[in-house]
Amino acid sequence: MNTEIIWKYFPDLNDDQINKFELMGELYTDWNSKINLISRTDIENLYLHHILHSLALLKFYKFRPEARILDLGTGGGFPGIPLALLMPESEFHLIDGTAKKIKVVNDISDKLDLKNVRGLQIRAEEYREKFDFVVTRAVASIDVLQAWCIPLLKTASVGEMPSGIFAYKGGDYKEELKKIKRNNYTEVNKIYEVFPEEYFKEKVIIYLQR
């Protein structure tokens, strides 16, 4: 697997972060042989398609250290685990309805010694905690995410950025945006502009303000 793609776009990583990103690949490969977290044909693209993709958010937005962030429908831990590794002073809650996926999340975060990660098996509709931001990757359409996430967001902001949702989306996002109310503030960030790799040509991160 090509770990160099991470160093290419994040050249200022310290030795501890480099070692943990390398270990991340070993851990996901091992778990994927037991549980189908990632397509078996795609595991070789782990660093480009999943880890680097997860980190794209940090090329567009800066977060205060005290931010509480919810990764909704985290699956095997994306984007939450890679983000948590580069945001050690922020608090990440990773939730998913599938118990075996949360088992993987907690095992990998423990072995990476990520003290700022908590994995929990629960549905978004059942969760009662409040967060500054929600991140979510390939989970549901924007209007559905809005209904799920607004009750989970704080009304007060952390720093200058109002609380909101960051949704990782593919090329069909324009149709999804038509489903939300016109007075909702959104920003569309094209990942290809910061990671000019063919894989990201149709991928965006949408910020939907609370």
pLDDT tens across the length of the chain (210 residues): 689 999 999 999 999 999 999 999 999 999 999 988 888 888 999 999 999 999 999 999 999 888 999 999 999 999 999 999 999 999 999 999 999 999 999 999 999 999 999 999 998 889 989 999 999 998 889 889 998 999 999 987 666 789 999 999 988 898 888 888 777 899 999 999 999 999 999 999 999 998
- The whole-number pLDDT of residue 99 equals 95
Cα distance between residue 73 and residue 85, in whole Å: 19
At 37 the pLDDT is 87
Residue 158 confidence (pLDDT): 62
Q: List, in sequence order, the alpha helices (H) in the chain.
A: 4-9, 15-32, 53-55, 80-86, 99-111, 142-149, 173-177
Instruction: Please give the C-alpha separations between residue 75 and each of 57, 80, 154, 196, in angstroms, as whole numbers.
Output: 18, 10, 24, 26
Tokens of 158: 């952390």
Q: Cβ–Cβ contacts within 10 Å for residue 188, how many? A: 12
User: Which DSSP letter does residue 165 get?
Assistant: E
Topology given in CATH for the domain delimited by 4-209: Rossmann fold (3.40.50)
The partner residues of 187 in beta bridges, in order of sequence, read 207
pLDDT for 1 equals 60
Strands 164-169 and 68-72: unpaired
* pLDDT at 159 (0 to 100): 65
Question: Taking the model in full, what pTM does it have?
Answer: 0.95
C-beta of residue 64 within 8 angstroms of C-beta of residue 87 = no
